[in-house]
């Protein structure tokens, strides 16, 4: 990708391009080489962005919701006009195939637009001759939206939609390693929204911490690791900020004995390996009955061998690289630890020659309970497979995790599958799919996979506080 396509990325503060003297090199994970420098906010600019959001809040929060929704729709239309450049930025910084990048952006825009069809009308709780009680929804104030590097555009727009429609202003901070498409979103937002409503700054942990602890930020919407989510929760405590935390997962899937491996293998495979396995709610632990194990694994290996891995700009590519060197090294360590403790390597695929953070499609079996990968999230193309003879044993092992983001059951009997899925400990449980989301479906985790939900009316309400108006109609 050339510099003309990338342009000159700048942050957005108070409706203006924000110059800076601090920069970070953005690395293309397919080459492991930097290709552009992105701006990094200094402490004063963090404060300026929050101040701009705070200053814009009174007018924006009192703008009628229909007018806010009209501007969000205009923003969506402008994003679609820029989809080619956004997709090129996304593929260059994240590594995913260009068609997948366009799919991410289109889906994210559609989800953001879905909030324009929702309302926050008051709800009458009590209407009696002597008393009237009504519940209203109020915006919170300036929000800090902190996103992750696996789906930079999707995570940004998932947060902007409900945040803006609810009447909040926002400071967005993308992951330091994938800032470009998000900075471009900020540039586009300057054309649509009043100054200060949408601010986009870039930076690492210190910028994130400054936002989380800032007294004028009223809510943190964060997607990322559980470890970082715990730090955010602790740092937000002194000012009692509202939190939406969409954190890690170690999702289990249980295959029931009535499954036909040839019919189910492809869907199970891509439930894990979509986006090179860099999906918080990907299937990561697969429980297979003894009677189906060998046949299902054989089918999945055949699929794995057919997957075309490479630079996301090349034709026909289905899977790109791991996004960054640190994550690549962590995946290597997880596999080596599992092997050292007795795991069986069922399959290791081929990867492109040359530079880039390439990681092979890997299937591990006989993984001992003391292996790190059993208890930690393998955020990459590694699937651990566990045999079982009793479905109750599989359920117990599936639920024996600190995480609870998603889970699935695979079966020809959807009634039996739904009954078992209901007993799995996760924020979302699916039957014969994993994951499956939509703008009208809330998404969130239990246990150490997060707090709150994103999506639909429930996600919109996460960006509001409850205000009860209680009127006594008669005098003393």
338: Cβ contacts below 8 Å, ≥ 6 apart: 364, 367, 368, 371, 372, 373, 384
> Active site residue: 280, 299, 377, 454, which one?
280
Residue 276 catalytic? no
Q: Which of 157, 160, 175 is nearest to 53 (CA)?
A: 160
Q: Which DSSP state fits 30?
A: T
Alpha-carbon distance of 218 to 220, in angstroms, equals: 7
Residue 131 β-bridge partners: 128, 472
Alpha-carbon distance of 409 to 431, in angstroms, equals: 5
Q: Which DSSP state fits 10?
A: -
27: Cβ contacts below 8 Å, ≥ 6 apart: 33, 34, 35, 93, 177, 324, 325
Instruction: Check the CA dihedral 159-160-161-164 and report its sign.
Output: positive
Residue 302 catalytic? no
Residue 443 β-bridge partners: 454
Strand order in the sheet with 464-472: 123-128, 131-139, 464-472
What is each CA distance from 55 to 142, 198, 414, in whole angstroms? 9, 12, 53
Determine the distance from the C-alpha atom of residue 332 to the mean position of all C-alpha atoms in its chain, rounded to a whole number: 23
Task: Give the largest CA-CA distance in the chain.
Answer: 84
What is each CA distance from 450 to 71, 243, 244, 447, 464, in whole angstroms? 31, 10, 7, 7, 18
Say how many CA atoms lie within 13 Å of 166 toward its Cβ.
29
Alpha-carbon distance of 473 to 476, in angstroms, equals: 10
> Active site residue: 246, 377, 454, 462, which one?
246
Q: Where are the beta strands (DSSP E) in 349-446?
A: 362-365, 382-388, 406-410, 428-431
Q: How many residues does the chain have?
A: 476
Q: Which residues are catalytic, by number?
A: 246, 280
């Amino acid at each position: 990708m050339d510099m003309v396509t990338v342009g000159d990325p700048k942050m957005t503060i108070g409706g203006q391009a924000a110059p800076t003297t601090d920069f970070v090199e953005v690395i293309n994970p397919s080459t492991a080489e930097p290709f552009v420098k992105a701006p990094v906010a200094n402490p004063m600019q963090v404060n300026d962005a929050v101040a701009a959001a705070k200053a814009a809040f009174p007018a924006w929060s009192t703008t009628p919701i229909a007018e806010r929704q009209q501007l969000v729709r205009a923003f969506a239309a402008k994003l679609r006009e820029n989809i080619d450049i956004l997709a090129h930025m996304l593929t260059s910084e994240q590594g995913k195939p260009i068609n997948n990048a366009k799919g991410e952006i289109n889906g994210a825009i559609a989800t953001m637009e879905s909030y324009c069809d929702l309302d926050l009308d008051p709800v009458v709780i009590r209407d009696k001759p002597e008393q009237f009680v009504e519940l209203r929804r109020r915006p919170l104030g300036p929000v800090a939206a902190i996103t992750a590097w696996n789906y930079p555009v999707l995570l940004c727009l998932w947060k902007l939609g409900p945040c803006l429609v609810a009447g909040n202003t926002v400071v967005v901070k993308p992951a330091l390693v994938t800032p470009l498409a998000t900075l471009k979103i900020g540039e586009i937002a300057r054309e649509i929204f009043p100054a200060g409503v949408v601010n986009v700054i870039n930076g690492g942990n210190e910028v994130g911490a400054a936002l989380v602890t800032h007294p004028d930020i009223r809510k943190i919407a964060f997607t990322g690791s559980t470890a970082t989510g715990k730090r955010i929760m602790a740092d937000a405590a002194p000012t009692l900020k509202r939190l939406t935390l969409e954190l890690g997962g170690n999702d289990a899937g249980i295959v029931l004995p009535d499954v036909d491996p040839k019919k189910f293998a492809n869907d199970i495979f891509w439930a894990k390996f979509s986006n090179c396995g860099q999906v918080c709610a990907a299937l990561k632990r697969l429980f297979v009955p003894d009677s189906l194990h060998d046949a299902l694994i054989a089918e999945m290996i055949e699929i794995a061998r057919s997957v075309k891995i490479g630079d996301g700009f090349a034709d026909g590519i289905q899977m790109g690289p791991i996004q960054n060197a640190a994550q690549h090294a962590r995946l290597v360590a997880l596999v080596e630890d599992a092997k050292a403790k007795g795991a069986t390597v069922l399959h290791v695929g081929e990867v492109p020659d040359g530079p880039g953070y390439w990681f092979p499609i890997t299937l591990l079996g006989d993984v001992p309970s003391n292996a790190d990968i059993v208890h930690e999230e393998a955020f990459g193309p590694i699937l651990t497979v566990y045999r079982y003879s009793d479905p109750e044993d599989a359920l117990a092992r599936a639920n024996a995790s600190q995480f609870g983001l998603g889970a699935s059951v695979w079966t020809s009997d959807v009634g039996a599958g739904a009954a078992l899925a209901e007993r799995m400990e996760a924020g979302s449980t699916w039957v014969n799919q994993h994951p499956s989301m939509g703008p009208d479906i809330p998404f969130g985790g239990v246990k150490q996979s997060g707090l709150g939900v994103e999506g639909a009316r429930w996600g919109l309400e996460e960006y509001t506080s409850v205000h009860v108006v209680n009127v006594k109609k008669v005098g003393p």
